[in-house]
Amino acid sequence: MGRALRADAERSVRAILEAAERVLAADPGASMEQIAEAAGVARTTVHRRFASRQALIEALAESAVRQLVRAIDDARPETTPPLVALHRVTANVLRIKGAWSYALGQPTDEGGGAPADWNELGARCLELLGRARDEGLLDPAADLEWVRRVYYALIGEAMHGDEQPDADPDALATLIVDTLLHGAGRRPGAV
């Protein structure tokens, strides 16, 4: 979708993508017709905007990744103190991943924009973790790539954990950041 869409066409595409997320999250084999019905548009409208089911899924994934980038931008990780930024980024990521779990779980086409966005997000995460290390929040010898992988795993577990299906993203972010920075071991001075 290279050129800008009219406002009504943009609303239509947004409705289709939101419906696709809901429908495909419930039934990954759902048809374009089911998605059109959920979006409140004609099947021809979906086909006019998306050449195939795969094109729709790729557009859905790219849209979700762009929302993830915006959510991280909103946390201002490059300028906010690292501990605050880490919490804000985590809470924002949890919100987007919760709303777009199907789309964000899809592999992306190498020719699309999403892989570049994923690479950018990984680099920004490493930069934030580097700032956290410089502030003394992480061990000076910490392997930041390993810390990033652990951080992503904590977010993944928080998203898929059965014990907290509707937990507040801010509370989960606090738990994730605390676990990342302090682990599960006994804290000095704790009884």
Q: What letters, b where the CB count within 10 A reaches 16 and e where it falls short, cover 18-37?
A: bbbbebbeeeeebebebbbb
Q: CATH number for the domain including 44?
A: 1.10.10
- Is the pLDDT assigned to residue 118 strictly greater than 80? yes
CATH code, domain carrying 100: 1.10.357.10
Locate 170 and state its tokens.
């801010």
Residue 123 token pair = 């680099």
| 44 and 68 part of one domain | no
> Do 6 and 31 fall within a single domain?
yes
Amino acid 111: pLDDT: 46
Confidence grade of residue 112 (pLDDT, cut at 50, 70, 90): low
Average pLDDT value for residue range 33-53 = 93
pLDDT value of position 1: 46
Element (H, E) at 177: helix 169-182
pTM of the complete model = 0.82
**What residue numbers bound the domain in which 150 lies?**
58-182
Specify whether 46 is located in the same domain as 62: no
Query: Does any domain span residue 45?
Result: yes
Do 43 and 64 lie in a common domain? no
